[in-house]
Structure 1
Amino acid sequence: MNAIAASAIVRPKTTAIFTCALAALAGLMFGLDIGVISGATQFIQKEFQISDHMIEWIVSSMMLGAAIGALGAGWMSAALGRKRSLILAGVLFVIGSLLSGGAWSPQTLIAARVILGLAIGVATFTAPLYLAEVAPENTRGAMISLYQLMITIGILVAFLSNTAFSYSGNWRWMLGIIAIPGVLFLLGLFLLPDSPRWLMMRGRKQEATAVLQKLRGDADHVAREVADIEEQLKTPQRGWHLFLQNPNFRRSVGLGVLLQLMQQFTGMNVVMYYAPRIFQDMGYATTAQMWFTAVVGLTNVLATFIAIGLVDRLGRKPILYAGFSVMAIGLGLVGAMMHLGIATHAEQLFTVAMLLLFIVGFAMSAGPLIWTLCSEVQPLKGRDFGIGCSTVTNWVANMIVGATFLTLLNSVGNAATFWLYAALNGVFLLITFWLIPETKNVTLEQIERNLMAGKPLREIGHEASAAAHGFSRPATEDTAA
């Protein structure tokens, strides 16, 4: 029985919420995969007797797979549909999880994590896209924010699971047990309807209307939404051609790439992947390392609500200013404590508190807001291409961070490594001032008009018309958006 038939007796609002919540569970899978490796690395290293460099490869191989998956996700979601792409991602996730738990060599584990990465790369592109297309407009922001929140919850659940298994040191169960929620997620995906917009793209208007009727309930509303989708589809995606022909579009793609580089080089995923190692360097034993790692995950979840609550009231840039400042201070003080030496329990707790301060700074700012900005600054004709470029950049940068942290620790030392990331956050503070636009309460159409008129990037979020600032719009097809 498909989702439409199954939900016939359920109110449309309930059906829509259920559909969106189930799709948002892709974020939970993402978070589980990010968090699960952190607690397992020390036990993997002990069993296989491998170097820190091989551990870096095991950690970062998932990001390599995710970059590849994200590259092909745009084509896949268009050709197979959003639902089928998510199902494929779910299958790969289960296979990768089981293979990780049963890995008989470091090389097998790397291959398993590449498979997991493929699943995550497809899901991170497709799930937010699906959510945006099925959620009612009055809850769309909340539903997409739910996806981001589920990522942080997945990380926390993985950390707690790791802590439970750390007493026995069974890393195979740490990695393999996430196949269980993966199977449940996969089964749930079969209840989802196809995306109405994708059905319209395939010329299946009657099916799209039926799906929307079950999701919305109001016939007039459905008719208007079908008409809006038809109108939107008249503007085809011409991303690669637009990128070659239009320098203003190249600026927005470059901005999206820069934003993702900023997010990854804050150092957040260093903590996500190597938290137990960091707490070990603070002088904590294995059990304490795992529990403090779980506290990191909980802090990440709770601080995300700050961004959800304030982003549409304070704006993007003020929150980014606060976030990058907090992150720079937090990591700077962690580095200082590492340099001076952590001898007492009070010094240990202070260092942990500064690391948690850093987590708060990220989760309230660069974590969710970078994704928001990346989607807002791309013009309609090139939105898929622009978001695809920034998503791939996210995973490549993520891989670089994961593959270099232990090398940095071993070559320049703990203190210098944390100072490096603190300095980068200081640089990102300046970049935010000079280049990042404020997009609060500005329509996507106005942002696009300002971009295509050639306004400086930091000003494309201004509500005033381009003409009022002395800019003229090029009279070319590529900029007539």
Structure 2
Amino acid sequence: MATINPTYINKSRFWIDGIQTIALVSDVFIFITGGFHLAVSVGWSYIVYSLHFYYCWFIGVAIGCILAPLLINWKRRRLFIFSPILLVIVSAIVTISACNNTNALIAARYLNGIAIGLTTVSFIMHASEIASEHSRGYCLCLEQIGLACGAYVQMLYTGYWSSEVDFNPYCLQGIFCIVFGVIALMFTFTSIDSPVLHLRHGDEPEALNCIVRLYRPPVMSNAKQVIFNKLKEYVTMNESMSLGQCFMQSLGPLLRILPYRCMLSFIVALPIVETFQWSEGVSTAGSVINWPPTLYGLLSALGVLVTFSIIEAIGRKAVSLFSLLCAAGMTIGVGIIFNDTIALINSTKMATACALLMIAQLFGGIFAPSTTVYMGEAFPLRLKRYFIAFTVLVQYMVDLIIVCTFTFSPDNVFVYCLVTGVLMCVACLIFAFTMPETRKTTLLETQQLFSYGLHLRFY
């Protein structure tokens, strides 16, 4: 009896579903611009202006999250993406034209934050609806890939920027944002509408047309009819629920998804960056090349790419929880080192802390994409955009609170690393029993999985 090569199956699946990833590329370039500003907000800024300058981007994202659920169904969802792209480009133009004006830079960061808030909610909704059960993880990972790549670029030129350079670093950031904004605008022509959105509006022919375009080859087949029937069943089941039922069924997933997503705020945070900058400064004192920021950012981006490559092959739960536990352990280790005042000027101890923080970033990068994937899968359809927006809003408000309340000192670093490390360990234990494994399940099946409170399966 002939056997089927698994490699051939994977290649065939990628060829069939690959168009779904291409349809989301424009969003990735918007997230890259957000990565620049996120990195600035957590301490990767060559010029420090004010506390308001740091946290204003978080407020912008929150505003975007509040507006997104209200605007997202105005018209075809893919046309909605033009609004944040224009905000990104306007923000970049303001940054370049007034790169020496603090108030103008703050206004530009507000605009970019609003664009990222709008895009995040729209992207998670859209990507989860257009992707098949075989590629949903890949598609939803693109948010964190964009943010990680943008943050890495910001880390690179911040780490190597010199006061001798007669050029404002924010002017360079603005140039990058314009370039990526224009590229995002060009890639909107590859986007495809969500069939779920058209089914909700009662337009079955257009929904079927979207499905035909989302799977290669772009011709009607029995397999695509099956996909259409599954999505129709998903929409029908959700539309039959009252708003009260939908709200109650969303609370259980929210109680798990909200703290799960907020773990990112402890990993990518101002205290962590300032601790790293201190430790690498002491450990590399006298060195000609300031190499640690390069490796630090690279490991974070590499972690995200690792998850992108394995999230459908291995799954979400086991890998992400193991990574969260490892990041927690590294963070606690850094806190213990900073509890010894003498260690602050010891190059060996600081090199150890620097290495631990790099490893924590690697595992943090591996953990991050699963937060987006679970958000796209957890909530019932009718109120999904509101709960996604609320989750993202709370996450960035946690970031804002950390930025506004943290002052760098050995004692504060010890307390922050110990408390957040312990919280991540406890959360990891709870998530091990409450988060489902949703690999290769349809949206209807994931929604049903999240309706249960206890999950012991890891693969």
TM-score normalised by length of structure 2 = 0.80
- Would the aligned equivalents of 1:317 and 1:432 in 2 still touch at CA under 8 Å? no
Q: For 2:205 and 2:304, how far apart are their aligned partners in 1?
A: 40
Which residue in 1 is equivalent to 2:391?
A: 390
- Would the aligned equivalents of 1:237 and 1:380 in 2 still touch at CA under 8 Å? no
**Post-superposition CA distance 1:216-275 (Å, at most 9, x none):** 22412343334433333322397963476x3x54333233222233331x2423268657
Q: Which moved further from structure 2: 424-433 or 218-227? A: 218-227
* Equivalent residues in 2 for 1:419-438, closer than 5 Å: 419-434=415-430, 437-438=434-435
Report the CA distance shift for 1:23/1:324 in structure 2 as closer, same or farther (over 3 A): closer
SS at match of 1:423: helix
1:66 aligns with 2:61: yes
1:95 aligns with 2:90: yes
Q: For 2:188 and 2:43, how far apart are their aligned partners in 1?
A: 29
Which residue in 2 is equivalent to 1:470?
A: none
- Would the aligned equivalents of 2:144 and 2:369 in 1 still touch at CA under 8 Å? yes
SS at match of 1:219: coil
1:258 aligns with 2:234: no
**Post-superposition CA distance 1:317-373 (Å, at most 9, x none):** 5445533433333223333444333445444432211110221231222x2223333
* Equivalent residues in 2 for 1:54-133, closer than 5 Å: 54=50, 56-101=51-96, 102-133=98-129
Which residue in 2 is equivalent to 1:402?
A: 403
- Would the aligned equivalents of 2:22 and 2:191 in 1 still touch at CA under 8 Å? no
Which residue in 2 is equivalent to 1:439?
A: 436
Which residue in 2 is equivalent to 1:189?
A: 188
1:139 aligns with 2:143: no
Report the CA distance shift for 1:31/1:272 in structure 2 as closer, same or farther (over 3 A): farther
SS at match of 1:364: helix
SS at match of 2:72: helix
Aligned pairs, how many?
431
Q: For 1:446 and 1:209, how far apart are their aligned partners in 2?
A: 21
SS at match of 2:434: coil
- Would the aligned equivalents of 2:296 and 2:361 in 1 still touch at CA under 8 Å? yes
Amino acid at match of 1:384: R
Which residue in 2 is equivalent to 1:341?
A: 343
Shift of residue 302, structure 1, vs aligned partner: 1.3
Answer 1 or 2: higher relative contact order, Cα 8 Å, separation at least 6.
2
Q: For 1:363 and 1:123, how far apart are their aligned partners in 2?
A: 21
Q: For 1:286 and 1:25, how far apart are their aligned partners in 2?
A: 38
Which residue in 2 is equivalent to 1:268?
A: 268
Q: For 2:17 and 2:378, how far apart are their aligned partners in 1?
A: 31
* Equivalent residues in 2 for 1:21-40, closer than 5 Å: 21-36=25-40
- Would the aligned equivalents of 1:331 and 1:354 in 2 still touch at CA under 8 Å? yes
Report the CA distance shift for 1:36/1:125 in structure 2 as closer, same or farther (over 3 A): same
Which residue in 2 is equivalent to 1:236?
A: 239
Report the CA distance shift for 1:17/1:395 in structure 2 as closer, same or farther (over 3 A): closer
Q: For 1:275 and 1:300, how far apart are their aligned partners in 2?
A: 16
- Would the aligned equivalents of 1:165 and 1:174 in 2 still touch at CA under 8 Å? no
- Would the aligned equivalents of 2:279 and 2:344 in 1 still touch at CA under 8 Å? no
Q: For 1:286 and 1:229, how far apart are their aligned partners in 2?
A: 61
Q: Which moved further from structure 2: 314-323 or 100-109? A: 314-323
Which residue in 2 is equivalent to 1:4?
A: none
Q: For 1:296 and 1:136, how far apart are their aligned partners in 2?
A: 34
TM-score normalised by length of structure 1 = 0.76
Report the CA distance shift for 1:373/1:137 in structure 2 as closer, same or farther (over 3 A): closer
Which residue in 2 is equivalent to 1:20?
A: 24
Q: For 2:240 and 2:161, how far apart are their aligned partners in 1?
A: 48
- Would the aligned equivalents of 1:260 and 1:370 in 2 still touch at CA under 8 Å? yes
In structure 2, runs of 5+ residues without a counterpart are 1-14
Q: For 2:254 and 2:207, how far apart are their aligned partners in 1?
A: 32
Shift of residue 92, structure 1, vs aligned partner: 0.6
- Would the aligned equivalents of 2:378 and 2:446 in 1 still touch at CA under 8 Å? yes
Amino acid at match of 1:210: N
* CA RMSD, 1 decimal: 3.6
Task: Calculate percent identity across the aligned residue pairs.
Answer: 16
SS at match of 2:94: helix
- Would the aligned equivalents of 1:60 and 1:399 in 2 still touch at CA under 8 Å? yes
Q: For 1:286 and 1:208, how far apart are their aligned partners in 2?
A: 63
SS at match of 1:78: coil
- Would the aligned equivalents of 2:303 and 2:362 in 1 still touch at CA under 8 Å? yes
**Post-superposition CA distance 1:175-205 (Å, at most 9, x none):** 3122221222123224433333334444444
Report the CA distance shift for 1:307/1:288 in structure 2 as closer, same or farther (over 3 A): farther
- Would the aligned equivalents of 2:299 and 2:358 in 1 still touch at CA under 8 Å? yes
Q: For 1:424 and 1:399, how far apart are their aligned partners in 2?
A: 16
- Would the aligned equivalents of 1:131 and 1:140 in 2 still touch at CA under 8 Å? yes
Which residue in 1 is equivalent to 2:3?
A: none
SS at match of 2:78: helix
**Post-superposition CA distance 1:381-422 (Å, at most 9, x none):** 5433332321221121122223333xx21xxx1343244233
* Equivalent residues in 2 for 1:356-371, closer than 5 Å: 356-365=358-367, 367-371=368-372
- Would the aligned equivalents of 2:325 and 2:424 in 1 still touch at CA under 8 Å? no
Report the CA distance shift for 1:274/1:103 in structure 2 as closer, same or farther (over 3 A): farther
Q: For 2:124 and 2:309, how far apart are their aligned partners in 1?
A: 19
Amino acid at match of 1:232: Y
Q: For 1:285 and 1:80, how far apart are their aligned partners in 2?
A: 56
- Would the aligned equivalents of 1:334 and 1:415 in 2 still touch at CA under 8 Å? no
- Would the aligned equivalents of 2:99 and 2:105 in 1 still touch at CA under 8 Å? yes
In structure 1, runs of 5+ residues without a counterpart are 1-10, 46-53, 464-481
Q: For 2:169 and 2:101, how far apart are their aligned partners in 1?
A: 13
- Would the aligned equivalents of 1:252 and 1:377 in 2 still touch at CA under 8 Å? yes
Report the CA distance shift for 1:262/1:146 in structure 2 as closer, same or farther (over 3 A): closer
Which residue in 2 is equivalent to 1:209?
A: 208
